[in-house]
Structure 1
């Protein structure tokens, strides 16, 4: 359908259109703005709402998920238990002279990429594109001009290997890289402090006393975990099942950049699919088995390469590259969703977390990454989080976040159990005895196994217990932790969780880049080829002139569109039809209906398609029906306009 040009993509051109047409703009702009905060205008709001609506239908409705809407304010204790207070951090480094702050991994990445570009220029391999040149000018205050310096082949290979693994380095390793490669403030050459951790959560106080410490949530997941028992009961105790939540999350980014790609307040859509740890198969996996995806496995990255492997999701699961079929099912469903809303499949890959990057409790984790002028951007994470979240909250609150399942026949099981010597335990810990006992009895099987091993080896272990300030030493005289055989009629288990997590703002920006192009023969005319399903406005209604004879038919067509709930906009300005179409091509409007003087006579109208500028003519009823089918019923232009008459016009001139 499209008549796209081969004009090189220009990010500045796109961003000027997005801001001029008020898809989004910096928040508090007349006060100078605050980095990392943006406001969405009318077309941005409509696009976001349409993407969220599509997400709901694609996942919540088709997968029978249970949607919840949880509070954005979260008490300190909850996020302490989940690990966010201690571990939800990025590494930052500070310029010793100017005080300027950098995110360490981004700085290393930016400097090494600039050196590799300088090497390419020195070797005469490539010149900068117009887009790269524009981007360099944009960053000139922060990054020195790229120097043409030839590097040794070994150094080039080393840089490329580091960049392939940049997401997996610890703070200490980033600091070592900065020393090894002499990385300083790119703008001033000033020395930098070694990287330090910076917690990304916004801290606040709940209530007027200020004593209840809290945070703005960094994700929507915790509310779903804490409501697990209620959700299980609502689902008639049936497993597996999934919950879902859509809402704002907050992260106090160190150095927000790249527009909507790295912000401090953003919309998330998250799914928590609760599954039996002994059976992670998915009943509908065969529906997606043959879908081919582009994978970047951890072994490839760790070898210093970023060459993708194409195979079906069935092959990926069968070979063990993807851990289980439920995880694989969601990877395929994520792929189908992204294509539906406008992502270019050739610029989409699934990157597996490397061994040093994966959370200790995760069985497997893949990110759906989209390629943009800023590089590959993580837009969706899909992780098998094992039983970590439910286990830690259950241990902290002493609430059983478990599933009880009647066994068809009794079974004999072995479990670690704690036996406490009450006569010695009480006098030993005195006022803390109750707290320590409760803590011991709420440990998971994995923890008890570790403690049993320590007791056998050392005769003691020294746990850290919240609420107990002094050091605790538990010896084999005070407790026994041993495996005990028991006959059980009911199986109790903590579900594992498969978690797909979507960053809606990032996806929106990537779609902008994937679908922006310039009209052939008129390169100044930008077009956003947003799919009709998610486009902010579906139809531009264009009367040929302001003649009053056309107005009754404008009202009639408007009434038809309203009745079918098709968003439209009337443009009866004095501009030429070509200019009116061009303005709405920038907004991504997929269809145009032109009302002319022939329409007054026979109530026929002309339908224009945005990308190809093809036009057909027919009755109001047939034209509106075609628009509705193409937009909402997965129809196509060729099929749904086959009964309409081709129409030649110079209105796009």
Structure 2
């Protein structure tokens, strides 16, 4: 199965799907060599961004990984930025729902019957493989538009066998991607580990709608794990049917790589489009979908994802989920190729209608009109005497069916009567249309859902941020934006000296009190080696205490330039830099600049 953790740990021997990654100074390196260098830096014991889970037991379990201290900090910072960018700035309603979902909920949503991939099995070893992946690997170009034709005929026709072992494969069979479990000690209630966090939002729609003052549009969001071996914060956005958006103008002029479905095919690639033009010409279905495509673009680039290696690809017709009216994936290019990291789907009213039908609870919204509207209503008047004679004991059922008929059906009956003089319900009489006043309309809202796979995004951030110093490829650097850097700054004395150390400790304590993560280093290694160490952890700033008793230097990671700042101003300045209030370029004109070559900056 494709998974976040699997992306972190795919074997280095896997054939790369792109050529040389345009990252840092590794222009002559292959994808696999570059990937190995990044992974080795991330997993080394001195950095420990992540490591294989349970590795003391025969090297761990394939595909499962644990975040180490800096990895946890970076992930927490990414989620904090996500919460700021979406939940706070969009005024969303955040919920936190259980990881286990009763079967009835996932039956209504379609996941029990439809959330499957076709699998094949190595008939000798029993190893399982996704049939579409084997077909794609076998002849990607030939099957570019046929990947859903996963039949016995296709597997046999192309003579596809199991990878590595070359053994024959079984016929394809459906495999549900959810983990089944039971709820309660008796095991009588069947459930599943949730495959997506969206359903928890949908089933809470009625209460969220009331909490929001019975007003639309509103948005709801959830951060949590979805059990397809993915780390997957999600948000479900509930909106009215016209699908315009009040803040659409903020994103309509954005230009970035887009890959509409009609442009996809062998030899074709994404092109730069203006988002507003994509809506105008119908490429993107509506303003609300486009708005969140734009917001996702802004979020990912703020994390440090390269604009040139980020594209939005529209799902082909045979890729669309059972609930989707339209869907776009934010794909990021890394050493594994173009990798789906965010899905932005127009789910229409599918989910709320499905849960309404299954639960019997109407999940609807009410729009009150500023003034009553006169509408023509068709009134069905069953003639119960004739119904009794014709249907006897079934009379009650017939009456209920007629009274439950919606306006569309009733109008069709009315038209048929006017045209033909009879309809299927010949024993009933239709009353004439009446003019009535309506004070509100009742409807099922539509849903726009951006869904984020944070683990995949983080791995792509690792690759996009990694580079080596031009003068020495052994000097590794992660250029994390300050807002997500796991450690915001390091603090150390220029040399081992009690007075210098006292200043460094005081500054470190003040930074901690101000909520700025920092690392105090009073080891006796050279200043250059300590700078190199912090660069490899992606620390954006380093504060050094020296023989000037009133000031310290602040070094910026990528330029390696330094400025000299008064001690009583350093904490506030670092806060502003790491919170994004000010940039390094903003402050360089205010403080004396010290080029890095003038100090011992190299190990």
CA separation of 1:527 and 1:562: change in aligned 2, threshold 3 A: same
CA deviations over 1:561-598 (Å, ceiling 9, x no partner):
124321100122232222222222221111111222x1
Instruction: Find the residue that maps to 2:224 and give its secondary structure.
Output: strand
Partner in structure 1 of residue 51 of structure 2:
25
Change beyond 3 A, Cα 1:418–1:45:
farther
SS in 2 for 1:162: coil
Q: Secondary structure at the match of 1:160?
A: coil
Given the alignment of the two structures, is residue 232 of structure 1 paired with residue 209 of structure 2, yes or no?
yes
Q: Deviations over 1:374-409 (max 9, x none)?
A: 111111111111100000100111111111122222
State the match for 2:120 in structure 1: 93
Of 323, 329, 348, 2:285 maps to 323
2:353·2:444 contact (CA, 8 Å) conserved in 1? yes
The answer as to 2:153 corresponding to 1:162 is no
Residue number in structure 2 paired with 1:652: 602
- Provide the rounded CA distance (Å) in 1 between the counterparts of 2:460 and 2:430: 53
Shift of the 485–566 alpha-carbon distance from structure 1 to 2, 3 Å rule, reads farther
User: Who is 1:150 aligned against?
Assistant: none
Q: Does the CA contact (< 8 Å) of 2:24 and 2:467 recur in 1?
A: no
Is residue 2:106 matched to residue 1:79? yes
Secondary structure at 1:630's aligned position in 2?
helix
Q: CA deviation at 1:182?
A: 2.4
Which residues in structure 2 correspond to 1:264-279 (within 5 Å)? 264=229, 266-277=230-241, 279=242
Q: Quote the offset at 1:504 in angstroms.
A: 0.6
Contact 2:114 2:322 in 1 (8 A): no
Q: Report the equivalent of 2:191.
A: 214
The 8 Å contact of residues 278 and 284 in structure 2, kept in 1 or not, is answered as yes
What is the aligned partner in structure 1 of residue 80 from structure 2? 53
| Residue 39 of structure 2 is aligned to residue 15 of structure 1 | yes
Residue 18 of structure 2 corresponds to none
Output aligned runs, 1:220-369, within 5 Å.
220-251=197-228, 264=229, 266-277=230-241, 279-301=242-264, 303-369=265-331
Structure 2 segments unaligned to the other structure (5+ residues): 1-22, 418-423
Alpha-carbon shift at residue 290 of structure 1 (Å): 0.6
What number of residue pairs does the alignment pair up? 558
CA distance in 2, matches of 1:220, 1:322: 25
Question: 1:375-394 residue pairs with structure 2 within 5 A?
Answer: 375-394=337-356
Question: Structure 1's 386 and 23: CA in aligned 2 closer, same or farther, altered over 3 A?
Answer: same
Name the structure 2 match of 1:461.
Answer: none
Where does residue 409 of structure 1 map in the other structure?
A: 372
Q: Hey, what's the Cα distance between the residues in 1 that align with 2:531 and 2:379? A: 71
Q: How does 1:452-531 map to 2 (within 5 A)?
A: 487=436, 488-531=438-481
Q: Does 1:108 align with 2:135?
A: yes
CA distance change for structure 1 residues 639 and 427 in 2, over 3 Å: closer, same or farther?
Answer: same
Structure 1: which 5+ runs fail to align? 113-158, 252-263, 457-474
User: TM-score, normalised to structure 1's length?
Assistant: 0.79
Contact 2:482 / 2:580 at 8 angstroms: preserved in 1? no
Once the two structures are superposed, what CA deviation does each residue of 1:466-523 show, in whole Å capped at 9, x if it has no partner? xxxxxxxxx9799999998774332001000011110110100111111111121211
TM superposition shift of 1:368: 0.4
- Return closer, same or farther for 1:402/1:417 CA change in 2, 3 Å cut-off: farther
**Contact 1:629 1:640 (C-alpha < 8 Å) held by counterparts:** no
Q: Which moved more, 1:402-411 or 1:380-389?
A: 402-411
How far, CA to CA, are the matches of 1:418 and 1:330 in structure 2? Answer: 48
Distance change (3 Å), C-alpha of 1:284 and 1:631: same
Match of 2:42, SS state, is helix
| SS of equivalent to 1:498 | strand
**What is the rounded CA distance, in whole Å, between the counterparts of 2:381 and 2:486 in structure 1?**
60
Q: Does 1:373 align with 2:400?
A: no
Is the contact made by 1:528 and 1:588 (CA closer than 8 Å) also made in structure 2?
yes
Distance 2:360 2:537 in 1: 53
Deviation at 1:425, TM superposition (A): 8.6
- Deviation per residue, 1:55-76 (Å, 9 max, x gap): 1111111111111111111101
Residue 396 (structure 1) aligned to one of 358, 376, 383: 358
Task: State the Cα RMSD in Å.
Answer: 3.3
Task: Tell me how far apart the structure 2 counterparts of residues 572 and 429 of structure 1 sit (CA, whole Å).
Answer: 90
Deviation at 1:641, TM superposition (A): 2.6
Q: Output the CA distance in 1 between the equivalents of 2:494 and 2:429.
A: 88
* Bigger mean CA offset, 404-413 vs 202-211: 404-413
* 1:201 equivalent among 178, 181, 202: 178
> How far is 1:560 from its partner?
2.9
CA contact (8 A) 1:613 1:652 kept: no
Provide Cα deviations, 1:450-469, integer angstroms capped at 9, x if missing partner.
Answer: x99xx99xxxxxxxxxxxxx
74-83 or 95-104: which moved more?
95-104
State which drifts further: 78-87 or 402-411.
Answer: 402-411
Encode CA deviations 1:127-185: one digit per residue, 9 max, x unaligned. Answer: xxxxxxxxxxxxxxxxxxxxxxxxxxxxxxxx42524x47x52432xx54433332212
Distance 1:606 1:399, change over 3 A: same
